[in-house]
Structure 1
Amino acid sequence: MWILAVSYGVHLLATAVWLGSMALLLFLAGSAMRQGQVLAEPWRRWQRRALLWGNGSLVLLLLSGFYQMTNDSNYSGFLVIDGVWAWAMLLKHVAYAGVVAVAAAWQFWLLPAQERLGLLAESRPQLAQVEAEKLRQQERRLLWLNVGCGVAVLVLTAVITAV
């Protein structure tokens, strides 16, 4: 019983950290994009820090959520879809996978592209400016996709809790 209580506590704290890192990226990105500072080092440093905290919280959410799910009376087994709870849980996992995919794209594609663009700006500033606009659009799309997946996770959590 105490392990489940600790799991709920860790899950709630990890959710708060995850939402905080997502909100930080969203609000700081808006500011950086308006000021044209997406390639600036302070912004990239904030991105890396927020992703570090976000990734850590996603791991904790995965572990604590798995423990909670398998101890729930509604859980009937792996991929046994036998009711509203199971459907909501399946969709929540799909949304969670979306959050993880966005974090991976951000980390392994967007941040390296921004760093390469910073190097390009030193030698070919006009070309870098065109590419920077493309990256800003892609970053904006990733941000809103992340928000959409995050909201889906929270809404589906509400459904799961209500059932």
Structure 2
Amino acid sequence: MQASSLALALTYWLHMLATVLWLGSLSALAVLVLPAARRRLDASAYAALLEDLQERLQPLAWLSLAVLAATGMFQMSAHPRYSGFLAIENAWAVAILIKHLFVGGMVLLSAYNTWGLLPQLRRMAILRASGKPLDETQLAQIQRRERLLLTLLLISSVLVLAFTALARAVS
């Protein structure tokens, strides 16, 4: 096996690993963990869980995104159908462009989740756990945003995988 083939295989593996870590943790969080936690945990335990999840998952998610960006650029530049930045000359390039638009949207949504929504939810949970009065309307609004955000991230991740499969099929 040539060194370039080995490097490409390594980038494929790292890209798939980062995809599984990022999208797998997102899916597990949205579909399993947070809905069950909201139903089963008291306010104090829920606040602690949110803090632990953010501490553990956010660095993993951002590391995964960095690995995806680096390995994706390497893979794309090595692909025989790649003609240059924003050169949309074939079905593969269209599928890759659409995939990257969804990934960009996911990065923006994840940034809002990391630095906007999760801190608000954590603050509300801490207030509730300490027995302080909450604006229930505001809490419900934040929780609706959380569900919408997670739904958008899940739909986007499914579409990213679909456009990846399409790009591979038309290669």
Q: Same fold (TM over 0.5)?
A: yes
Name the residue aligned to 1:32.
37
- The structure, 1 or 2, with the larger RCO (C-alpha pairs under 8 Å, 6+ apart) is 2
Give the gaps of 5 or more residues in structure 2.
Answer: none
Shift of 1:35: 3.6
Name the residue aligned to 2:167.
160
Per the normalisation by structure 2, the TM-score is: 0.86
Q: Pairwise CA RMSD of aligned residues?
A: 1.9
**2:107 paired residue among 88, 100, 118:** 100
8 A contact 1:25–1:50 mirrored in 2: no
Amino acid at match of 2:7: I
**2:140 paired residue among 124, 127, 133:** 133
Is 1:5 aligned to residue 9 of structure 2?
Answer: yes
Does the residue aligned with 1:108 lie in a helix, a strand or coil? helix
Query: Percent of aligned pairs with the same residue?
Result: 35
Q: What are the Cα deviations for residues 40-92 of structure 1, in whole angstroms up to 9, with x where unaligned?
A: 21133113322221211111011101100011000011101111111111101
Deviates more, 1:108-117 or 1:67-76: 108-117
List structure 1 segments (4+ residues) > 6 angstroms apart after TM superposition: none
Is 1:48 aligned to residue 55 of structure 2?
Answer: yes
Name the residue aligned to 1:20.
24
CA distance in 1, matches of 2:83, 2:21: 30
TM-aligned CA distance change 1:111 to 1:126, over 3 Å: closer
Q: What are the Cα deviations for residues 86-128 of structure 1, in whole angstroms up to 9, with x where unaligned?
A: 111110110100111111010110122123324544474242x
Aligned length: 162
**1:68 paired residue among 75, 83, 108:** 75
TM-aligned CA distance change 1:32 to 1:157, over 3 Å: same
Amino acid at match of 1:19: L
Give the gaps of 5 or more residues in structure 1.
Answer: none
